[in-house]
Structure 1
Amino acid sequence: MKTNLVIKVHDKDNVAIVVNPGGLHEGDSLDDGTVLTMSAPAGHKVALMDIPCGESIIRYGEVIGTALEPIERGDCIKEAQLQLPQAPGLDELPLATRPSPSVEPLTGYTFEGFRNPDGTVGTKNVLGITTSVQCVAGVTDHVVARIKQELLPRYPNVDDVVALNHSYGCGVAINAPAAIVPIRTLQNIARNPNFGGEVMVIGLGCEKLQPSRLVADEQGEQPVRIHDTTEDAELSADTLQLQDESLTSFSEMVDSIMDMAERHLQKLDRRRRETCSLSELVVGMQCGGSDAFSGVTANPAVGYATDLIVRAGGSVMFSEVTEVRDAIHLLTPRAVDEGVGRALLREMAWYDAYLEGGKADRSANPSPGNKRGGLSNVVEKALGSIIKSGNSPIVDVLGPGERIRRKGLTFAATPASDFVCGTLQLAAGMNLQVFTTGRGTPYGLPMAPVIKMSTNSTLGRRWHDLIDIDAGRIATGEASIEDIGWELFHLILDVASGRKQVAADRLGLHNDLVLFNPAPVT
């Protein structure tokens, strides 16, 4: 006999999402006596009671919309039946009002990482070749292919060489206030722990963003360590401009870059993994191709693992402003102090103004795929998204492109776009990422391992060789949130140590960097 499975998150909810992979059909009965009046695909919401026109539709114990027409008990709720509620106002939200939860520290957890001169720790050993302008991308791609073929085999302790190409650097308003976002993003990506402090910058020569600016911090000085220390960072940086008059041919350009790369490869090849405290991990949490299962399976498991990492002294960042904005009232009380709470509000207000300036609003999110997966609007999406942050206090807030400053849970403000968020988390110092998906995406980053987690088992089975963990087992009762959270926690340590390889790295599936540039293009 078929079991009709639905998930109701909160006692106040008047809807539940369908779990059965093939969905439910008209006439199917639920345990509470609800009889479906129509078919409902997996992940879509079924009304558990009559909802009159104008009444609230509640999921996660929060209002996700008001009914634009009467909805009968047993109806499958459609996007067009919900009116998007107003976003929470930012003027009177509670700041730092929730006492920090009392938890036991986790001790004794370690991973095998690469220690850097600046005190950070890498999970990979990669040569990154930064570019100051998109004009040189063809050359760097050519050279990287040569390096991989001719040089990399001689340096077995180096995992990879990657070109940090992007679409910025010239034809831009380089002195506009918002230009600091892409510039500091590039500066800080070059200092990602997985690059070992070995920085190469290839420029053209006539661009507005000169290579020398990418090896200095925002004040034009050598960077300092990001962790609690007074010592200066050691940065081994080389720059080369293709328009240098001493380079009289393309082959001389290539040879010069190859020589420069070999010097850095020699240094990187001396790096060895050593036992490091889990407190040196900086893990980025992200979701993409989300569905209605995201907020009840994968994201809660990620949140559980987030709390474990924080309890062990590590650093976790969560992001995606537009997928936080409608749940900000649930986060400001968790700020460790009022200053952090105000910083959260600052980033929300900045993005509100950014969208307004582009004559867009938050209704531009979610995507068509999100909606096919059962997410009706950005409010429902945000309530499921923030669960990745777990229950820990929020200790800091980063603007786009800034680098992590404190251990614990940090909100790193980024757009929701997968590629832009990943780029900004790399700049923030992430050395490993966890990415949850319900619809499926082959997203990956060559600079840092990306653990892919499916929110439903249908995707986990179909993409069995692309998904690293199937959290859909939570929906079917085969595993608990705690089970999957611990499984993810241990996988993070194994991947960070090089003992296990994520699917994206094994298959070579890697996305380009995509800079967030809110400044004008001239």
Structure 2
Amino acid sequence: MCNNDIRIIRVHPDDNVAIVVEADGLDEGQVLDGGLVVNGRVPQGHKLALADIDIDEPVIRYGEVIGTAAIRISQGEHVNESNLHMPTPPALEDLPLATRPAPAVKPLEGYTFEGFRNADGSVGTKNVLGITTSVQCVAGTIDHVVQRIKRELLPRFSNVDDVVGLNHSYGCGVAINAPAAVVPIRTLKNIALNPNFGNEVMVIGLGCEKLQPSTLLEDRPVKVYENTEAADPDANVLSLQDDSFHGFGEMVDGILAMAERHLERLNRRRRETCPASELRVGMQCGGSDAFSGVTANPAVGFATDLIVRAGGSVMFSEVTEVRDAIHLLTPRAIDEQVGQALIEQMVWYDDYLAQGQADRSANTSPGNKKGGLSNIVEKALGSVIKSGNSSIVDVIGPGERLRKRGLTFAATPASDFICGTLQAAAGMNLQVFTTGRGTPYNLPMTPVIKVSSNSTLGQRWHDLIDLDAGRIATGEASIEDVGWELFHLILEVASGRQQVAADRLGIHNDLVLFNPAPVT
């Protein structure tokens, strides 16, 4: 609804709030369509009451209750966390399971990208040498070695995009046999299998750690580097404490020798035409605002459906940003088993938070609230829209690999860095990341397409944002328009024809393991 070009967005006919589109917000006394008078200052992205809301009455956005009024809220007044009570989360008993028939859609055929096909059938969108570690003790050494490889070796191998040190804070001083230790260990194992590494990952260890390097390669041949002239050219494991090394210089020389042979093999890889069904895309949001659920995330959801129609694989994640919308997802499960698996992941995380004496309300950040999101309920309802309208065909736990084509819920915490690490371990070859507040987040081994939810951010961060979905809020483009634009951009980035902004700038975040197990 608008008056004199003043725009506000009401998502659902039942909503009794709308969000402000104007970059400068709305001032007291401004008159909107239908005679609604603004009652006090309302910033951009924040909610405006469309009617009087009495104390304890529901506040509705997306056609769903996002809270109840803590005080009487007058029509035209600013609605925010200070005058809302958060509702209880949906009960997990008796949720509808697999009650919605799969949407009737035509397959999307004929779309391709230029990728690196691997021996196991997977396809990479980059050609990267990964150097993983079995323990945090060697992280400084890996940082040193990676810089030398980039400076001394990489220029000789023009078909290799990068070398990445997969450092982490695990490996020793931990309860490695505790049940929950399966999460960080399988994450490290599966990251090494990411299709962008072309099965050429090296493992560097110290030697005395609990998590031995061979554990990370237990499904593949382990070939240990020996500091001799007869060193195995296929060596993939090196321990710094090996008795054959005399001084740090020999350790580094050994790693460089191993790296050179892996780079030689990676350099033989060439891009080839692959169907869009080989896409494995992770969808994530961070630094979200109230526009995220009406612009960027719906456009991502549209692109999600296009990828699924093309036979590809898409993951959505972030348990705490799903929990309050779980009742909207369980009906979309392909069968009751998948629906029950969704519930089990919610239960596991509820228990995990309770053990830490926290709850889901701890998720919402000051930036989220400044951007108009009042609580985790409102945030979750906008977050799940990234999943589009497709049926959910599978649910995987933290650190597990993708098993099926189609739409999968990959259970992860909502932390940007942990979620990205776990989606990389699941096998994604490209990520789409939506943001309303802005973030330079990027992954070193996987292209990350950054989508802004509002044009204010898109214009201010012009050299960090890859696609501006804020045009949906201003009426310049539709969700369908931006969804198709994103789909085509995914194919261009996956083909190496277009580089994401953060890669151009050389910005990359460290990987962060999720370790719910005890630290000793």
Q: Same fold (TM over 0.5)?
A: yes
What is residue 231 of structure 1 aligned with on the other side? none
**Aligned equivalents of 1:321 and 1:194: distance in 2?**
26
Correspondence for 1:132 among 131, 134, 144: 134
> Given residue 275 of structure 2, which amino acid in structure 1 is its aligned partner?
S
Structure 2 gaps of 5+ residues are 223-233
What's the counterpart of residue 228 of structure 1?
none
What is residue 407 of structure 2 aligned with on the other side?
A: 409
The ranges of structure 1 where at least 4 consecutive aligned residues each deviate by more than 2 angstroms after the TM superposition are none
Q: 2: distance between equivalents of 1:69 and 1:366?
A: 22
User: Does 2:57 match 1:69?
Assistant: no
- How many angstroms does 1:78 deviate by? 2.2
1:233 maps to what in 2? none
**Whole-Å Cα distance in 1 between the matches of residues 118 and 43 of structure 2?**
50
CA distance in 1, matches of 2:333, 2:35: 42
Does structure 2 conserve the Cα–Cα contact (< 8 Å) formed by 1:340 and 1:395? yes
Aligned to 1:226: none
Could you tell me which amino acid in structure 2 is paired with residue 14 of structure 1? N
How far the C-alpha of 1:33 sits from its partner, in A, is 2.1
- For 1:186 and 1:304, the matched residues in 2 are separated by 32
Alignment of 1:5-20 (within 5 A): 5-20=7-22
Which of 192, 195, 198 is the matching residue for 1:196?
198
- % identical aligned pairs: 76
Distance of 1:464 and 1:36 partners within structure 2: 32
* Alignment equivalent of 2:179, drawn from 174, 177, 191: 177
In structure 2, distance between residues paired with 1:292 and 1:73: 20
Query: Residue in 2 aligned with 1:488?
Result: 486
Deviation string, structure 1 residues 134-184 (Cα, Å, up to 9, x no partner): 000011111111111111011000000010000110000000000000000
In 2, Cα distance between equivalents of 1:19 and 1:155:
49
Determine if contact 2:25/2:42 at 8 Å carries over to the other structure. Answer: yes
Q: Distance in 1 between matches of 2:221 and 2:159?
A: 28
The partner residue of 1:158 within 157, 160, 163 is: 160
Please tell me whether the aligned partners of residues 235 and 258 of structure 2 are also in contact (alpha carbons under 8 angstroms): no
Q: Where does 1:199-278 land on structure 2 (aligned, <5 Å)?
A: 199-217=201-219, 238-278=236-276
Where does residue 354 of structure 1 map in the other structure? 352
User: Are residues 1:43 and 2:60 paired?
Assistant: no
For residue 5 of structure 1, give the secondary structure of its aligned residue in structure 2.
Answer: strand
Aligned counterparts of 1:490 and 1:33: Cα–Cα separation in 2: 42
Whether the 8 Å CA contact 1:26–1:36 is kept in 2: the answer is yes
Normalised by the length of structure 2, the TM-score is: 0.97
SS at match of 2:351: helix
Query: Of 89, 112, 116, which residue of structure 1 is paired with 2:91?
Result: 89
Instruction: Give the distance between the partners of 1:90 and 1:454, measured in 2 at CA.
Output: 33
Matched residue, 2:308:
310
> For the residues of structure 2 that align with 1:110 and 1:78, how far apart are their CA atoms?
45
Deviations 1:104-131 (Å, cap 9, x if unpaired)?
1100000000000111000000000000
CA distance, structure 1, for counterparts of residue 421 and residue 208 of structure 2: 25
- In the other structure, the counterpart of 2:102 is 100
Q: What is the Cα-based RMSD across aligned positions, in Å?
A: 1.0
Aligned partner (choices 145, 157, 163) of residue 143 of structure 1? 145
* Structure-2 separation of matches of 1:17 and 1:498: 38
- Contact between 1:394 and 1:409, CA under 8 Å: does it hold in 2? yes
1:32 positional shift: 2.8
- In the alignment, the residues of structure 2 paired with residue 207 and residue 80 of structure 1 have an alpha-carbon distance, to the nearest angstrom, of 49
Q: 1:515 to 1:237 in 2, by over 3 A?
A: farther
Residues 43-73 of structure 1 deviation map (CA, whole Å, 9 limit, x = unaligned): 0000000000010000000000000110000
**Per-residue CA shift, 1:378-435, capped at 9, x if unaligned?**
0000000000000000000010000000000000000000000000000000000000
**Alpha-carbon shift at residue 501 of structure 1 (Å):** 0.3
Q: For residues 29 and 106 of structure 1, what CA distance do their matches in structure 2 show?
A: 46
**C-alpha separation in 2, matches of 1:29 and 1:143:** 63
How far apart, in 2, do the equivalents of 1:68 and 1:37 lie?
A: 18
Matched, 1:319 2:321: no
Amino acid at match of 2:485: E
TM-score by length of 1: 0.96
Alignment check: 8 A CA contact 1:4 1:28 kept: no
2: CA distance between counterparts of 1:413 and 1:78?
A: 29
- Per-residue deviation, 1:330: 0.1
Q: How many residues align?
A: 507
Q: For the residues of structure 2 that align with 1:249 and 1:405, how far apart are their CA atoms? A: 44
Equivalent residue in structure 2 for 1:26, among 28, 44, 61: 28
For residue 222 of structure 1, report the CA deviation from its aligned partner: 7.0
Residue 2 of structure 1 deviates from its aligned partner by 4.6
Matching residue of 2:118: 116
2: CA distance between counterparts of 1:322 and 1:78? 20
With over 3 angstroms needed to count, the CA separation of the structure-2 counterparts of 1:237 and 1:517, relative to structure 1, is farther
What amino acid is the match of 1:433? Q
Q: Structure 2 counterpart of 1:332, which letter?
A: T
Distance 1:216 1:89 in 2: 41
SS in 1 for 2:60: strand
CA gap of 1:14–1:125, structure 2 versus 1, over 3 A, is: same
Q: Distance in 2 between matches of 1:2 and 1:206?
A: 71
Q: 5+ residue gaps in structure 1?
A: 224-235
Q: Is residue 215–residue 237 contact of structure 1 (8 Å, CA) maintained in 2?
A: no
